[in-house]
């Protein structure tokens, strides 16, 4: 069973699935991914809502991101921590 969220425009309930590490690894390899953007981190860890700096994310969230990088061998460079455009951590300058 996945997590639940509601659409911001329609208000309809929608399902948010759990992260599939093996599928992400395969997709990165098949598509030649050079960067990964993570959206909905605040759904994975509510304490991350609105955080704008990587080092201010919870240890749980940082461990999750590092596991994604370890499994896929691709850097996570953009992290969304909420629905607003200003609720984004952009690591591209640091990781490339």
pLDDT digits (tens, 9 = 90+) for 37-63: 999 899 899 999 999 999 999 999 999
Asked if the structure places residue 26 within a domain, the reply is: yes
What is the 3-state secondary structure of the chain?
CCEEEECCCCCCEEEECCCCHHHHHHHHHHHCCCCEEECCHHHHCHHHCCCCCHHHCCHHHHHHHHHHHHHHCCCEEEEECCCCCCCEEECHHHHC
pLDDT of the residue at 63: 98
Query: Would 10 be classed as within a structural domain?
Result: no
Structurally, the chain folds into a number of domains equal to: 1
Q: Considering the domain boundaries, does residue 1 fall inside one?
A: no
Look up the CATH number of the domain holding residue 31: 3.90.170.10
Look up the domain containing 68 and give its range: 20-95
Which of 8-12, 24-28, 57-61, 81-85 has the lowest average pLDDT? 8-12
pTM score of the predicted model: 0.82
């Amino acid at each position: 069973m996945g997590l639940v969220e509601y659409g911001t425009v329609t208000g309809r309930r929608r399902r948010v699935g759990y992260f599939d590490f093996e599928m992400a690894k395969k997709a990165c390899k098949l598509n030649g991914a050079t960067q990964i953007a993570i959206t909905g981190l605040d759904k994975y860890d509510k304490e991350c809502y609105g955080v704008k700096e990587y080092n201010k994310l919870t240890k749980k969230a940082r461990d999750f991101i590092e596991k994604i990088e370890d499994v896929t061998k691709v850097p996570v460079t953009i992290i969304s921590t909420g629905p607003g455009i200003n609720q984004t951590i952009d690591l591209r300058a640091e990781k490339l």
